[in-house]
Amino acid sequence: MKHNLNIERDRELLLGLARNDDKALSTIYVENFPAVLRMVIQHKGSEDDAKDLFQEAMIVLYEKAQTSEFDLYSKLKTYLYAICRHLWLKKLQSGSWQLSLPEELEEVLPADNHMEDHDKKDEQFRIMEESMGNMGEPCKTILEDYYIRKLSMADIAEKFGYTNAENAKNQKYKCLMRLKKLFFDKYKL
C-alpha cells in the first residue's frame, strides 16, 4: 500500500511541475539532485555539470508532465535518475546532447520503449536539427558553444558580453526552453 501512496505523491509533484508550481519544483530538486550529483561526480563530472544535467532532465520531465497521456509507473526518483543517467552517458560517449536510450535503461523505463524505435529516433534528430536551425541568435550559437564546442560558461559570457557566467547560464536556460518549445511544437510524442 505504501508503494501506491508514494506513486500518488509523485504524481501530485508532477502535476505541480506541469503547473510551474515552485514548491513542487523545489521538492523535486531537494529530493533528487544529491543522487544525480553523486552519479555525475563518480563519472568524471563536476557540480556544474550535474546542475546543467539536472536542468535538462527537468525540461524532459516538465514536457512529459504536460502531456495528458503520460502516467508515472515507476517512482519519480527512479525515473528522473534514469533520465539523468541516460543524458550523462550520451554526453560521455559522444560529447553532444542526444536523445537515444542506452540498453541497460530499458528495464527501468518500460513506459518509454517508443524511444527505441529507430524511425522515431531519426525523426527526433531531424526535428532537433531543424529546431536548432530555426532558433536564431544568440541562442543557436550559445547552445552549440556549450554542448558541441564545450566552451565554459565564463567563455560564453565573455564572448557574448554577459556580465558574468551566471547571466550566461540563465540565457542558456532560456535558450533551452525555447529549443524545447520549437522541438515539441513540431514533434508530438
Could you list the pLDDT tens digit for every one of the 189 residues in the chain?
Answer: 445 557 788 888 888 888 878 888 888 889 999 999 988 888 778 888 888 888 888 888 888 777 766 666 668 888 888 888 888 887 777 654 444 444 444 344 444 444 445 556 666 767 777 777 788 888 888 888 887 788 899 999 999 898 999 888 888 888 888 888 777 777 665
Q: How far is CA 163 from CA 47, 108, 157, 169, 173, in A?
A: 22, 42, 7, 11, 16
Q: What is the DSSP letter of 96?
A: S
Cβ(160)–Cβ(138) under 8 Å?
yes
Q: What is the DSSP letter of 110?
A: G
How far apart CA 155 and CA 169 sit, in angstroms, is 11
Alpha-helical segments (H) within the chain: 2-18, 22-42, 47-65, 76-94, 118-133, 139-143, 153-160, 165-186
Phi/psi at 86 (5° precision)? -65, -45
Tell me which residue of 126, 143, 138, 144 sits closest to 183, measured CA to CA. 126
* pLDDT the model gives residue 155: 92
3-state secondary structure 128-155: HHHHHHCCCCCHHHHHHHHHHCCCCHHH
Q: What is the DSSP letter of 67?
A: S
* pLDDT the model gives residue 158: 92
Cβ(107)–Cβ(116) under 8 Å?
no
How far apart CA 186 and CA 111 sit, in angstroms, is 22
